[in-house]
Structure 1
């Protein structure tokens, strides 16, 4: 689940006022799908109401099935249980722990019940600032991240924590000299830290009772701690820019100890009732209860007071290593990890040894499977009984009638090995032998131009080291003797076509070319509102989807992103200008065309028509909506004609006094929409413009990349029109001329598909057309439009759009942009994207203003993704030696997952923003990654194709990879739902098209468990979850894939066993395929929750707002 809490890292508190009404759990439960409701009811029963209830329970549902929503349901029932009666708790504290702040910010909102709000707390050590708010609220939600809230001993923490500690310590050991200030200052700026100390003292944000508890805790430590404090205050009596390491180490140890002590006090003050551990396998060190970190976590996990005992709800699709091979390290051993997890959930199992005995009996019986399965089935049932006490797991195929779960294996076309590829291997092998790194086969199979793209590989390090020692040795001839082991930058600068030099990459480029993907700035909408033309039409025929590539080698993501993005560039730029060169100097010449400048020649601002396409006009949004679609479908011309027919009478009235003017005036392109809004929506339009900070509100956090921008002046001119009316323009030296002949056509096209207009409609589909005039909606649409401007100003986008027209075409670029948006069905694209984002961002119960703001932030982040530019090396002949030249190769169409390096020296995009962009319809269309550390991350929004560049070693990892794109309302599901119900919904007049689509699909489903239509919606000849394995013919990969597929069906029968691969191999060897298919359902461990009595129907499609 996949996209941070509290500004930095750590914690936030979300609270509901004590005066609020009792939350209705059914408001949450009724929105769950059937299988989710089953899990909620069962987990709650095990945690609270069963005679043999447990304090800890694990929800291990398969990846992508909505574990966070299950947790939300459990919390809703827990709050209701603790609200009154025998179990009443005066203050209910819900603690949410996850691995990073990005996931925390996303998921805490998904967990909230009722009309909740956030109160920033920072991290566990900052809770004293918020404890009064906690006490004032009946329900509190606190999000923590382990790295900042539990790992305290040797860290100085954040300056906010040290400000708090300074004032707490002063209560017991008052000392107003400089020593304590310098001691707690850390690396914070001196003047800034002193100001923060004074501001905190004035604010008074410190709970007196907690401060007193901490004071007693300091006293309990005895004189030793005080002596250390006095000694350190003396050492730090003077401010020093450079603190000796001995003093710094002592300072860090002392502050770390105080942070640890304060955290313990905070746990007591927190009074946790429910602790949710999300993807807890990432921080299993907390489960051991050893050391400072473990003890602090244990105090949280075992909290108990007079009224209640804390309950732990653990969430993870992979709570333990699901499958290991015998040669893998003991630390990763499946059997040990499994037992550790189960025994943490139920310590009594460790004491009794019952589970270990059952697993041993099961393994022995499995080796006797040829004599029958009766004993195995009996033991399996006992194992399930033991495990169900503390866990449940739902799997797609177990609750679905679809045997394949929509998965299809798609043959990879174009995986061709050439003579040049073989020559490259021979050259690389010789180089490897020369530097004593002869094993190069897997490298060569995986990536081209290896020495250019490798970073931390011994092969390249040895080559570089040998060249440094003796640049004229025999290695020089091997490096430049014909094998393609390094890029030729001369070819790159000339935008020449590079040979992929790799069979797998050749296949990927063939896929990209066949769908004309390089001509797209966004994917085709799953449900276009009018007939498409190329290139979107071609892409749709191919069922085009983004592609997620997994490799086991770090060099692959870098090579794939570099070569694929280069290939897109070399297609785009020469199409517009065949003399263009790929150099930094040439790129600097490509200035943005959507600019806000001042022309001395014209004596005026030049960018007002650009401002117009960024202006969110409610009138244009109303007049140009392409929905509903007439029966029989529509073309773009039909949609524009309909908008023009609505616009012309209004424009005629506006322009009538100016029709006979001598001069044609392009000002009408921006004047007319504002005047229409003043006629139809005067009050809200004046309110929107009448703000001193409108330029910054409009642009959001984004700054104009053009240093000479006159953006504020352009906004002022528009405000002048609103303030003074059309007379303000009449006072111009030339006056206002006659309207252009194509004014109605230009505004009609913009009304149908302009960036700002489309964004305004998309944002308000869920809240209704009456909200289009709201300040928040217009602000959000304006920010999205500003981000579109940034997209269209990229050199690649500019060349692509202009390259679609004859080179002598004089149409202004802003008009070309609107035409491109119209051809690309931008309204349909944004309607689908905003609907999908509401689910990704967890916007279930937010008010409209907050939802619009967060949606605009997410869309802007995706559109504003900075081009990555990792370093690549060229091994270049120089006289009789080889010189290594360093260059940068841009990544945009394809990117590697992770932090990016920028080509302009500024910080590149962060990992989270790369994921946001991939989960959008915009570039990148290819994301290449290793599969390390991606549990819980979503990549499904616009991708249903996984490419296994290198196969994983076991079947579980294969499933985990594909689970990244098989999630709630994924791309394949949306395509199929749209194909089935699109015509019916578009003709039905529904304002919120995507809500209506899923309602229609739900109504037509007979699946009472809720997987259809949200996770599964198969359609003949429709979209599927695609598995691509670009295996070379007769290679190990082809046979390995078949082995993985065979063991995939067997490994669940050897659940919880040591040496799983041995047992799988035994079953594959001794049991026929027919017999395996027969016994697999009988022997597969089933931990699914029992169906709940209340969960008989599929829950309706939730409305994104006003749902609580």
Structure 2
């Protein structure tokens, strides 16, 4: 992706600071959602060009980010090659020496980018690492004379790890030898480094433990292996020698600039205490931009002003520059604290000096905010009887066992608390007390603490039991009007023809992102909404008495012995039925050009394409002497493959009676044909189409199509093709490709990774809690939870898959997350509705949350663009041409923020981002929300000032007009400071 004009201006400014102003530490603090990674990529390109001109042969960049998911998300944006991207198991700092020398062989590229993550790369507490880490160390250490013939050394390094040890040893032996053979001299260099780094005393101690091999020496082994890990980590650091260090989401590991004597200290001493290393910090919030008096009172060590000064001390490592800045900043702070409308001239002058001082090491661009957010759904909600019962019954239950009080916020956040409150101390205490003194009658009497497995199994309507959950369900399902439970993907923002049936909705649809303070909430929302979506379809199926009743669980029996049984899924797209859907028939694809039929109804499009299909069928009937008859999927495929596209093989026996309608839908919307029009490549089209086969073979998908078209196992593929046509699949894929911004194999890989399988979470029910059955699992497909999990390959891949799927047009349609999704991750491509389940205490957290969906090419912008410019004359690329038209009409003298991030609000009822805040009546929610919004508009005026809350009160009391306030905002945007546009003069944008 090429940087936009304001991003290019920022990249040039950063390089200017590095090269001309000789300042080696720069903070890029662009507001959340404005593409700091794109700016960083441009900086990498410019600095590498500069170094190449100076004669450098190898330009190395170390990219440090807070977690593997962010590394995966940003790697392509930053230009990191796939071979340099990390797996969790191989991301340890103690293993990076291998990666470094693998990329320093004979054919290495000029640029090398090495990603590191603190949670794994620097994770060297008291442990002995993972198996891969120890295997690589073993492969190298056994080459040293001291360990070469040492009996028991393999067992020592294995550290009681029996599974896969030999596999990993052989794997890394091959990599080490291959790396050495590429001309890097890897083995000899590592041997020299290890001989110098490992003390003789440690060698003797390891030899003694290996000879003794007693069980009591296990803890001694642990300490020695940990010491070896530190040695390997230090060697990696010594060999990195980066030309540029990029620290992404810097606020997540701010302690690196004032480190302790541990593994993070190793990193800091290597890169960050050396002022000769160029360091680019990326963070919208490098210090907490705003702190309330309450927050400061609760934690005296927490202080926004102290954090701000700590960051500035790090940036301004030159003592003279640091002293000058602090003098200028004191003058500005003093003028601001004595805010007086009669002395504004002095204040403005001091503000200008402070702004210039910051601009020497900080760049920051902010978006236009007015009019982007629709806050009409930040409202009080209606509580029901079960909201009260949830609290009363749980409290009575706790009183019965003398456990204490249930937190009111728990009850407000989730229904059926004992079903979803896993890993909570309160739940653990309840389970312990109940097992010691069970009271089955009391448990059975209370209906709001636990789900009933028998109700779930028969798809009984389960009361939401919680006003917030009911509000969310009403928002998502809209009383059945949204048809969301029958959708497998969202309708396109710009349909090529008028969508039909369930895809014909009144207002543009959106996914929903939910933020909560409690980990039980994502688990609960994912389970309850997925169950409700599934129930709405299965109830319809069960109304047909000819069908065998569908049950939620695998077996009708709810006894404990049925807990391991899984649903038996009989896939319907298989053999030739699968081929009909997944074969990219070029001849049929030629019969439909989307631009030719823009704006027409589907019936009209089908009628016109059917004429072309009829003529084509007439030709092959005459040519091959075929007649119509009762055909099968095999006949459809053979007609396409052999007769239409001319490949040799078995001839069809007949032309199926319904061939005209089926081939018409294939021409318009077959997954394979649509993919071929997108990729212009058979193999890529076929590969993507196979993902659609898997999608339509899911039980939930088959249920939807059975409700819409009736059940037909033999002709299910016809229903699939009909659904694709009604869902405007070509427009869906083209829009998706546009926002991903990729081509070829990269695009295919991104799309493939977005088809999420059905997962499940374990929940407690009345039956399991009372000991009648095992804990069942509830399926998550319509909605999913994104929350903290173990940091291993499997869970990292799962969370990464969730992020990719939510950023696709396909399910899940609801993502519920804790603060883990609050910073650094994008969820904006198909979501413009954000629900604050629990309000944060700080306005910056509210802004960070909403920044997840208020980003480049976000759904609200695309739906607005399609609404305003969807009827222009198109020639080749619908989305490129719509945004070009919008830029011509809307941008004027503004930056590229318009139209890619916002649009001037001209009263055209453009689509907006919806802020959903379900507030309980007569609670503190309303006051908290109003305070957050009030502070959100002006907190930037108090950046880097002590006691910000009091300062905001003074600013409000001064009653400054908009022009005066505008002059007090600090402008650190290179684009706007250069006079290319005035960023504060746009009154209202969406």
Same structural fold, with TM-score higher than 0.5 when normalized by the shorter chain: yes
3-state SS of 1:928 partner: strand
Please say if residues 374 and 912 of structure 2, whose CA atoms lie closer than 8 Å, have aligned partners that are also in contact: yes
Whole-angstrom CA distance in 2 between matches of 1:316 and 1:619: 51
Please say if residues 260 and 292 of structure 1, whose CA atoms lie closer than 8 Å, have aligned partners that are also in contact: no
Alignment CA distance shift 1:566-1:159 (3 Å): closer
Deviation at 1:529, TM superposition (A): 0.9
Whole-angstrom CA distance in 1 between matches of 2:606 and 2:798: 40
Tell me the C-alpha RMSD between the 2 structures: 3.5
Alignment CA distance shift 1:395-1:877 (3 Å): closer
Please say if residues 1018 and 1024 of structure 1, whose CA atoms lie closer than 8 Å, have aligned partners that are also in contact: no
Whole-angstrom CA distance in 2 between matches of 1:197 and 1:1079: 65
**Residue 57 of structure 1 aligns with which residue?**
26
Q: 2:551 aligns with which of 561, 569, 581?
A: 581
Whole-angstrom CA distance in 2 between matches of 1:415 and 1:127: 55
Deviation at 1:212, TM superposition (A): 5.3
Whole-angstrom CA distance in 1 between matches of 2:621 and 2:40: 59
Q: TM-score, normalised by structure 1?
A: 0.79
Q: 2:452 aligns with which of 484, 488, 501?
A: 488
**Residue 813 of structure 1 aligns with which residue?**
716
Q: 1:273 aligns with which of 220, 243, 260?
A: 243
Alignment CA distance shift 1:237-1:634 (3 Å): farther
Any residues of structure 2 matched to 1:13-32 within 5 Å, and which?
31-32=2-3
Whole-angstrom CA distance in 2 between matches of 1:908 and 1:100: 9
Deviation at 1:958, TM superposition (A): 1.1
Alignment CA distance shift 1:275-1:636 (3 Å): same
Whole-angstrom CA distance in 1 between matches of 2:930 and 2:594: 49
**Residue 427 of structure 1 aligns with which residue?**
393
Whole-angstrom CA distance in 2 between matches of 1:752 and 1:1097: 47
**Residue 500 of structure 1 aligns with which residue?**
464
Q: 1:875 aligns with which of 766, 781, 794?
A: 766
**Residue 9 of structure 2 aligns with which residue?**
38
Q: 2:76 aligns with which of 98, 109, 121?
A: 109
3-state SS of 2:180 partner: coil
3-state SS of 1:344 partner: helix
Alignment CA distance shift 1:455-1:640 (3 Å): same
**Residue 266 of structure 2 aligns with which residue?**
296
Unmatched 5+ stretches in structure 1: 1-27, 398-402, 597-606, 680-721, 730-735, 765-771, 844-850, 1099-1108
Post-superposition Cα deviations, 1:1056-1103, rounded to whole Å, max 9, x if no partner, equal 2334334435555x445xx375543233333222548797899xxxxx
Post-superposition Cα deviations, 1:711-737, rounded to whole Å, max 9, x if no partner, equal xxxxxxxxxxx4xx34x44xxxxxx42
Deviation at 1:655, TM superposition (A): 3.2
**Residue 778 of structure 1 aligns with which residue?**
682
Q: 1:1034 aligns with which of 922, 939, 950?
A: 922
Deviation at 1:971, TM superposition (A): 0.3
Deviation at 1:170, TM superposition (A): 2.9
Please say if residues 326 and 1061 of structure 1, whose CA atoms lie closer than 8 Å, have aligned partners that are also in contact: no
- Indicate the larger mover: 358-367 or 528-537: 358-367
**Residue 560 of structure 2 aligns with which residue?**
none
Q: 1:249 aligns with which of 208, 218, 222?
A: 222
Q: TM-score, normalised by structure 2?
A: 0.87
Any residues of structure 2 matched to 1:35-184 within 5 Å, and which?
35-50=6-21, 53-84=22-53, 87-112=54-79, 118=83, 123-127=95-99, 129-130=101-102, 132-133=104-105, 136-152=108-124, 155-156=128-129, 159=132, 162-163=135-136, 166-167=139-140, 170=143, 173=146, 175-184=148-157
**Residue 898 of structure 2 aligns with which residue?**
1012
Post-superposition Cα deviations, 1:899-932, rounded to whole Å, max 9, x if no partner, equal 799xxxx989711111111111111111111224
Q: 1:394 aligns with which of 355, 359, 365?
A: 365
Any residues of structure 2 matched to 1:815-964 within 5 Å, and which?
815-838=718-741, 843=742, 851-863=743-755, 865-875=756-766, 886-898=775-787, 910-932=798-820, 934-964=822-852
Whole-angstrom CA distance in 2 between matches of 1:527 and 1:817: 22
**Residue 456 of structure 1 aligns with which residue?**
423
Whole-angstrom CA distance in 1 between matches of 2:332 and 2:807: 43
Any residues of structure 2 matched to 1:528-543 within 5 Å, and which?
528-538=495-505, 541-543=506-508
Deviation at 1:1051, TM superposition (A): 1.5
**Residue 738 of structure 1 aligns with which residue?**
654
Please say if residues 32 and 69 of structure 1, whose CA atoms lie closer than 8 Å, have aligned partners that are also in contact: yes
Whole-angstrom CA distance in 2 between matches of 1:513 and 1:159: 47
1:343 maps to 2:313: yes
Post-superposition Cα deviations, 1:97-134, rounded to whole Å, max 9, x if no partner, equal 22233433443432339xx8856796522245325327
Whole-angstrom CA distance in 2 between matches of 1:609 and 1:210: 54
Whole-angstrom CA distance in 1 between matches of 2:38 and 2:751: 24
Corresponding pairs, count: 944
Whole-angstrom CA distance in 2 between matches of 1:454 and 1:117: 39
Alignment CA distance shift 1:616-1:387 (3 Å): same
1:195 maps to 2:170: yes
- Indicate the larger mover: 617-626 or 504-513: 617-626
Deviation at 1:782, TM superposition (A): 1.7
Any residues of structure 2 matched to 1:315-330 within 5 Å, and which?
315-324=282-291, 325-330=295-300
Deviation at 1:443, TM superposition (A): 1.8
**Residue 794 of structure 1 aligns with which residue?**
698
**Residue 546 of structure 2 aligns with which residue?**
none
Whole-angstrom CA distance in 2 between matches of 1:892 and 1:350: 59
Alignment CA distance shift 1:349-1:788 (3 Å): farther
Whole-angstrom CA distance in 2 between matches of 1:560 and 1:128: 44
Please say if residues 450 and 764 of structure 2, whose CA atoms lie closer than 8 Å, have aligned partners that are also in contact: yes
Deviation at 1:330, TM superposition (A): 4.6
Please say if residues 493 and 583 of structure 1, whose CA atoms lie closer than 8 Å, have aligned partners that are also in contact: yes
Whole-angstrom CA distance in 2 between matches of 1:1059 and 1:477: 56
Whole-angstrom CA distance in 1 between matches of 2:768 and 2:278: 67
Q: 1:634 aligns with which of 600, 605, 618?
A: 600
Whole-angstrom CA distance in 2 between matches of 1:454 and 1:66: 37
Whole-angstrom CA distance in 1 between matches of 2:143 and 2:513: 55
Please say if residues 806 and 812 of structure 2, whose CA atoms lie closer than 8 Å, have aligned partners that are also in contact: yes
Deviation at 1:555, TM superposition (A): 2.2
- Indicate the larger mover: 193-202 or 426-435: 193-202
Alignment CA distance shift 1:365-1:194 (3 Å): closer
Deviation at 1:528, TM superposition (A): 0.6
Whole-angstrom CA distance in 2 between matches of 1:542 and 1:854: 33
Please say if residues 801 and 816 of structure 1, whose CA atoms lie closer than 8 Å, have aligned partners that are also in contact: yes
Whole-angstrom CA distance in 1 between matches of 2:455 and 2:31: 48
Deviation at 1:530, TM superposition (A): 0.9
Whole-angstrom CA distance in 2 between matches of 1:899 and 1:656: 64
Q: 2:677 aligns with which of 732, 737, 761?
A: 761
3-state SS of 1:989 partner: coil
Whole-angstrom CA distance in 1 between matches of 2:230 and 2:460: 61
Please say if residues 379 and 919 of structure 2, whose CA atoms lie closer than 8 Å, have aligned partners that are also in contact: no
**Residue 998 of structure 1 aligns with which residue?**
883
Post-superposition Cα deviations, 1:834-857, rounded to whole Å, max 9, x if no partner, equal 22222xxxx3xxxxxxx4333333
Whole-angstrom CA distance in 2 between matches of 1:969 and 1:581: 42
**Residue 257 of structure 2 aligns with which residue?**
287
Whole-angstrom CA distance in 1 between matches of 2:747 and 2:982: 31
Please say if residues 467 and 882 of structure 1, whose CA atoms lie closer than 8 Å, have aligned partners that are also in contact: no
Alignment CA distance shift 1:78-1:907 (3 Å): closer
Alignment CA distance shift 1:456-1:170 (3 Å): closer
Unmatched 5+ stretches in structure 2: 544-548, 557-564, 984-990
Please say if residues 977 and 1001 of structure 1, whose CA atoms lie closer than 8 Å, have aligned partners that are also in contact: yes
Alignment CA distance shift 1:663-1:642 (3 Å): closer
Any residues of structure 2 matched to 1:532-611 within 5 Å, and which?
532-538=499-505, 541-578=506-543, 579-585=549-555, 591-596=569-574, 607-611=575-579
Deviation at 1:1053, TM superposition (A): 1.7
1:232 maps to 2:206: yes
